[in-house]
Amino acid sequence: MGDGRLDRLAEVIVHHSLRLTAGETVLIEVFDVPEAVPAALIRVVVAAGARPVVSVKQNAVLRELYRSAPDEAIALAGEVERFRMEQVQAYVGIRGSHNITELSDVPAERLQAYQRLWWKPVHIDWRISRTRWVVLRYPTAAMAQQAEMSTEAFTDFFFRVCTLDYGRMLGAAEALKARMERTDRVHVTGPGTDLAFSIRGIPAIPCYGRRNLPDGECFTAPVRESVEGVITFNAPTIYQGVPFTGVRLTFEKGRVVAATADKPERLNALLDADAGARCLGEFSLAFNPYILQPMRDILFDEKIAGSLHLALGNAYEIADNGNRSAIHWDLVLIQRPEWGGGEVAFDGEVIRKDGKFVAPDLILLNPEHLG
Residue 85, Cβ density class (10 Å: 0-12 exposed, 13-18 middle, ≥19 buried)? buried
SS3 233: coil
Q: Is there a single domain that holds both residue 249 and residue 139?
A: no
CB under 8 Å to 68, separation ≥6 — which residues? none
Interval 274-308: pLDDT, tens: 999 999 999 999 999 999 999 888 989 999 999 99
Q: Do 127 and 183 belong together in one domain?
A: no
Final residue of a structural domain among 102, 131, 162: 162
Q: What is the pLDDT of residue 100?
A: 79
**What pLDDT is stored for residue 167 in this prediction?**
78
CB neighbour list of residue 52: distance below 8 Å, 6 or more residues apart: 25, 26, 28, 41, 42, 45, 46
Contact present, 100 and 142 (Cβ < 8 Å): yes
Whether residue 326 is predicted with pLDDT greater than 80 in this model: the reply is: yes
Q: What is the pLDDT of residue 97?
A: 85
Which position has the higher pLDDT, 42 or 102? Answer: 42
Residue 178 pLDDT > 90: yes
Statement: residue 44 has pLDDT above 90:
yes
* 188, 156: one domain: no
Domain end, chosen from 162, 196, 215, is at 162
**Phi/psi of residue 298, each to 5°?**
-65, -30
Whether residue 91 is found in the same domain as residue 234: no
pLDDT digits (tens, 9 = 90+) for 123-167: 999 999 999 999 999 998 888 888 889 999 999 999 999 988 887
| Percentage of residues of the chain with pLDDT beyond 70 | 99
Q: Please tell me the total count of domains within the chain.
A: 2
pLDDT at position 320: 97
**Are 181 and 299 members of one domain?**
yes
Contact 193, 282 (CB under 8 A): no
Cis ω for the linkage preceding 214 (within 30 of 0): yes
Contact 187, 195 (CB under 8 A): yes
Q: Provide mean pLDDT across the span 318-346.
A: 97
Mean pLDDT lowest for which of 141-145, 281-285, 338-342, 344-348? 141-145
CATH number of the domain at 96, please. Answer: 3.40.1830.10
129 vs 249: which has the higher pLDDT: 249
**How confident is residue 3, by pLDDT bands cut at 50, 70 and 90?**
low
Q: 319: Cβ–Cβ under 8 A, 6 or more apart, which residues?
A: 202, 203, 204, 205, 219, 220, 221, 282
Contact (CB, 8 A) for 362 and 179: yes
Residues 303 and 182 in one domain: yes
Q: Are residues 197 and 125 in the same domain?
A: no
Q: Do 249 and 312 reside in the same domain of the chain?
A: yes
Same domain as 262, residue 118: no
Residue 338 and residue 256 share a domain = yes
Of 134, 162, 190, which residue is a domain's last? 162
Please indicate, yes or no, whether residues 41 and 96 belong to a single structural domain of this protein.
yes
- Give all strands of the β-sheet with 132-137 in edge-to-edge order: 51-57, 25-31, 90-95, 132-137, 212-213
Which residue range(s) make up the domain with 233? 166-370
Quick one: 307 and 198 in the same domain?
A: yes
